[in-house]
Structure 1
Amino acid sequence: MAMDTERLNECMNRIARGWFQAMPEGQWTSAQLFWAEAGGIIYSSTIAADIDGQPRTVSQPKDVHDALRELREGMAEPGRGTWISVSMSLTPQGVLETNYNWDRRFYWGDQEGFPWAPDTRDGAVDSPSDDQFLAELERFPREPMMIPAWYPRRGLAEQSAGAASTDDATHAVNPDADARFTEVLASKGALPEDIRPLMDAWGWPGIVESVRNTIAHAIRQVPEELKSALAGEQGDEARAKALVEFRDGVAKGAMASVYRSGSIVAIRLVQEYHAVHGGTLQGVDAFANAAPLEQYREEAAMRPVIELIFSRILAIATTDLSARFGTEIPA
């Protein structure tokens, strides 16, 4: 976390002090604050319960909003971004409790289930919009596996159908690329059957996007000596060998982003995998709050975690490239 403890405490004190001063003295028993920012717009609601238990709206002073915005920016982490919204409670005794939401979409409005349920009434439009959330992703970038499944993406393929990404197709017209590889880049990839159910699970849509982004980059950068083999100009055996080499490089490149993340990321990916497909992987729960993954690559309990993730990344790359090149790539 970029923000040090002293600065964090200063922000929290400003929030508590400004909020407390905005409350009607002696006329409330509890208060709840929801605060979020998307696309440069602040979404904020503060509701206090009066002595009869009736809800009352409270208007927050500017300094509370400034402190919350500073807190959100200060808590941003490289590769993880920052929290999407925060919920706080305040008591008349001045006790402030905080719950940060890093992964869940919120919906603004007066609909039932606010802020976690969308407005399903006729003509309702989601607020914030997808563009606003995309603006936040540009402002606070996340590595692919840190992007929740619901998060809008520019250029992410229609995963359930296995279609090629719009972004890849847009970039496919490269005057320096061989026409054959421009065609491969623009063609449709595919997903392994056991990956498709994971497209609503935490982290896995980002893994798929990471593989496909790596494929797109690799295809644009194919060295000439490998290009002729991949094109089949050196015979079928040479082409099969070149495809395996190319696929393995893609998988290792996509896996590198998992290596850069903490062990908790790898463990959560595996937990989500087993939640969808069943089964368990013994011995990993103790690592849930462990140090960065780098320190545990050789630990017996972590090896199965990494092996499962890498095997699925390898399967995604194999299926996608097999579809693009129109030939089955050996496992």
Structure 2
Amino acid sequence: MNTDRTYQMLLVLFFAQSCAFILGLGQLYGGDPTVQTARASTPELSRDIPDRSNLAECVIAQINYPRHILSYQLHITTIGDHLDAIAHQYGSEAALIQQYNHISCSPPPGRALIIPQTNPPAIWPQQSVRDQTILIDHGRTDRPWVALTIDMGAGSQPVPHMLEILRERDIQVTFFPTGNWIAQNPWLARQIAQDGHEFGNHSYSHPDLRTLTDRQIAQELAKTEQLLYDTTGATSRPFVRPPYGAYDERVLQTITTQGYLPIFWSLDSLDSVDPPKTPAFLIHRVTTTLSREELSGAIILIHGGSEATAEALPSILDQFATMGFEVRTLSEVLGQ
């Protein structure tokens, strides 16, 4: 009889401890909704890392992360940096940094990373994000790769043809849609994601960010990120391209504070600038303006609403291939 009672008491104790443990995990990874920051309204990063042949074997396929991000920090990698050490320094998780920035375990030196902080850092950074500015206009120069980036603000008619051209050549690039564009073209946004392309954030309404407050900039980015996720299941993080390429130090700092890397370009195709450009002009400008040395790691800007660009795209891609250059996504060209 005493044995049965002891056994029952042990079962009750085990059940109580299990419930406490589960509740503890819920507080750590789910958090109390009454104390969530604005991050709680944005999608958590639980999606797969894109399948890229050049990623190290240590890539984590799928991990669920806590929604609550304390803050974001900017880190520029140096020789010998490893994600475990970086994560420990900033109070983050190696797999979270990896997935957030689309990188392997050992990114190349000089790679700019956004570090989502989920815990107080082991070592407080000497500089906060507010003390730093960065604007990325070029990638790694040690490979014959170029990043083709396509801004999507006005117009959508040429996009299906562009996607078909890229699909035929098995090429993935990086699209920067505005939130307005996604709202007006949800099926195209889903097709872009389905084809394996990468996304960046181009704001919601395409304003000059210099005319907005920090809060308004944050709202523009958050609204687009949420809509992109709701529409496609993809994320625009960690890349933002300021509309019109317009920025100042405050804009760059605000973008980084919101957990994004500001992206510029090495070469503007001028396909959105009057007077209207011919396909021949665009082919010549995109493939011959930069030297071979400058092309390695170049970030090239074109626009998805340009019929002339869609017509020129096959020749641009074929010319790069003839020159020995591969067209890649932005994250690949920056260094994974």
- The normalised TM-score by structure 1 is 0.24
**Larger-gyration structure (1/2):** 1
Q: Does 1 or 2 have the higher relative contact order (CA < 8 Å, sep 6+)?
A: 2
- The normalised TM-score by structure 2 is 0.24
